[in-house]
Amino acid sequence: MEALKAEEFLNQLTECREAFWEKLNAERKSYGAEKPLSAAIVLRRLQFGVVMERKAAEVTARWVGQIPDLDLQQPMSEYVANELKHTSILRQRIKELNGDPDALWKEPLPELKELWDFHASLSSLCELIASVQFGHEEFFPRTSKSFIERVTPIDPKTASIYRDTLLADEAGHEWIAPEILSRYATDAATQQKSLEALKKGCELFGRAIQSFNRSMPS
Binding segment (CB under 5 A) for Fe ion, from list 42-50, 81-89, 113-121, 122-130: 81-89
Tell how far CA 81 is from the center of its chain: 15
Q: Which residue is nearest to Fe ion (CB)?
A: 86
| Least distance between Fe ion and beta carbon 167 (Å) | 9
Contact 50, 164 (CB under 8 A): no
155 binds Fe ion (CB under 5 A): no
138 binds Fe ion (CB under 5 A): no
Per CB under 5 A, the list member of 17, 53, 76, 116 interacting with Fe ion is 53
Instruction: Kindly tell me which of 83 and 127 has the beta carbon lying closer to Fe ion.
Output: 83
Q: CA 12, CA 204: separation in Å to the nearest integer? A: 19
Q: CA 70, CA 68: separation in Å to the nearest integer? A: 7
86 binds Fe ion (CB under 5 A): yes
Binding segment (CB under 5 A) for Fe ion, from list 14-22, 83-91, 121-129, 199-207: 83-91
- Site map (CB under 5 A) of Fe ion, residues 13-42, x = contact: ------------------------------
Instruction: Kindly tell me which of 164 and 187 has the beta carbon lying closer to Fe ion.
Output: 164
- Angle (CA) 204-66-1 rounded to 5° is 65
Largest CA distance in the chain: 56
| 217: phi then psi, degrees, rounded to nearest 5 | -65, 140
| Least distance between Fe ion and beta carbon 164 (Å) | 13
Say if residue 95 is exposed, middle or buried (CB neighbours under 10 Å; 0-12, 13-18, 19+).
Answer: exposed
Instruction: Kindly tell me which of 114 and 169 has the beta carbon lying closer to Fe ion.
Output: 169
Instruction: Kindly tell me which of 148 and 191 has the beta carbon lying closer to Fe ion.
Output: 148
Instruction: Kindly tell me which of 86 and 199 has the beta carbon lying closer to Fe ion.
Output: 86
Residues that bind Fe ion in the complex, under the rule CB under 5 A: 53, 83, 86, 170
